[in-house]
């Protein structure tokens, strides 16, 4: 909760935590008034659920699988090409950008453009099993300088369970977004289904966006959005951003890209506790998660 917040870099704002220096509360409040075009696409994720992956897929779909069109931009990160709507200074560019405008966000539904609720634009929500999210987020906290480096895994586990991280409680994020699924043009997709069958996931996304690509073009989108290939490109590893933002010596952004890494990190007791909270929070939730392969 807000009162429990130990991390002085996170600023409570209307039931959500923002990162000081990265987000500005007044800016965030302006998002709800943005005008939306039918061609706008917002990718919504709880952090570490495959945001960069969907940025890559959207860019490739737009380029009809032509990877040279993307490699031209190797001086930019995927986040420069498909920016966060909540980050300071990105809103102005959104207003004047040519269509189609692709944006990502970790925000809760309540902050988003109201026009989305009139079924303007499209939203893709990616959900990832929260045990793997927790582990991925632990490593990201070590990598990202704007987030406090965790004391150790146990300490971070507690923080995540309390929601004392950017993104808040994972359970609240997915449940509130899901509860608004009928207000918007929204596609729910899971990280795990993308891992297990990227081809069919890309086809679903393409269909949802109303894109018409040949089989060959779709195959190219798939090929250039695999973990193996994305790991090799600077855009997906934020190699362009300076050590002020990412401690590049600590690791790479494209870390492991698997299902079930939590098993290498959770203790038996932590796993039992997590399961208990999960059952309680998610018992009426209709989507299921894959924990393991």
Q: Which residues of this chain interact with ligand A3P, rule CB under 6 A?
A: 45, 47-53, 132, 136, 139, 195, 225-227, 230, 254-257, 261
The DSSP element (H or E) to which 171 belongs, if any, is helix 170-179
First to last CA, the chain: 34
* 2 vs 261, beta carbon nearer ligand A3P: 261
Least Å from the CB of residue 44 to ligand A3P: 11
Least Å from the CB of residue 171 to ligand A3P: 17
Least Å from the CB of residue 38 to ligand A3P: 26
Phi-psi region of 48 (alpha: psi -120 to 50; beta: other; left: phi over 0): left
Q: Helix or strand or coil: residue 17? A: strand
* 29 vs 292, beta carbon nearer ligand A3P: 292
User: Which residue in 13, 23, 106, 248 is the catalytic one?
Assistant: 106
Do the Cβ atoms of 7 and 148 come closer than 8 Å? yes
Do the Cβ atoms of 176 and 109 come closer than 8 Å? yes
**Who contacts 45 (Cβ-Cβ below 8 Å, separation ≥6)?**
51, 54, 104, 105, 106, 125, 126, 128
* 34 vs 254, beta carbon nearer ligand A3P: 254
* 211 vs 256, beta carbon nearer ligand A3P: 256
109 a catalytic residue: no
Least Å from the CB of residue 285 to ligand A3P: 21
Least Å from the CB of residue 96 to ligand A3P: 26
* 51 vs 270, beta carbon nearer ligand A3P: 51
* 186-190, strands of its sheet edge to edge: 102-105, 41-45, 122-127, 186-190
Tell which residue, 20, 137, 32, 152, has the closest CA to residue 88. 20
> Strand pairing partners for 17?
12
Which residues are designated catalytic?
106
């Amino acid at each position: 909760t807000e009162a429990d917040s130990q991390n002085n870099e996170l600023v409570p704002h209307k039931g959500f935590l923002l990162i000081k220096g990265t987000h500005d509360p007044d800016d965030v409040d302006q998002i709800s008034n943005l005008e939306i075009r039918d061609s706008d696409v917002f990718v919504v994720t709880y952090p570490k659920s495959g945001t960069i992956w969907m940025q890559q897929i959207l860019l490739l779909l737009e380029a009809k699988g032509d990877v040279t069109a993307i490699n031209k931009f190797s001086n930019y990160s995927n986040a420069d090409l498909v920016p966060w709507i909540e980050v300071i200074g990105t809103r102005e560019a959104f207003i004047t950008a040519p269509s189609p405008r692709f944006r990502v966000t970790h925000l809760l539904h309540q902050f988003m453009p109201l026009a989305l609720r009139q079924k303007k634009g499209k939203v893709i929500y990616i959900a990832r099993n929260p045990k793997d999210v927790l582990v991925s987020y632990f490593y990201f906290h070590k990598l990202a300088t704007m987030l406090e480096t965790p004391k150790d895994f146990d300490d971070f586990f507690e923080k995540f369970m309390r929601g004392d991280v950017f993104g808040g409680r994972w359970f609240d994020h997915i449940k509130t977004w899901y509860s608004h699924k009928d207000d918007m043009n929204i596609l729910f997709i899971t990280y795990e289904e993308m891992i297990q069958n990227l081809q069919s996931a890309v086809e679903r996304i393409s269909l949802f966006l109303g894109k018409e690509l040949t089989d060959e073009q779709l195959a190219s989108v798939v090929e250039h959005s695999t973990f193996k290939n994305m790991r090799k490109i600077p855009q997906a590893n934020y190699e362009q951003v300076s050590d002020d933002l990412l401690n590049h010596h600590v690791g790479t952004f494209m870390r492991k890209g698997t299902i079930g890494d939590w098993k290498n990190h959770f203790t038996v007791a932590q796993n039992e506790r997590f399961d208990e909270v999960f059952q309680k929070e998610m018992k009426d939730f209709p989507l299921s998660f894959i924990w393991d392969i």
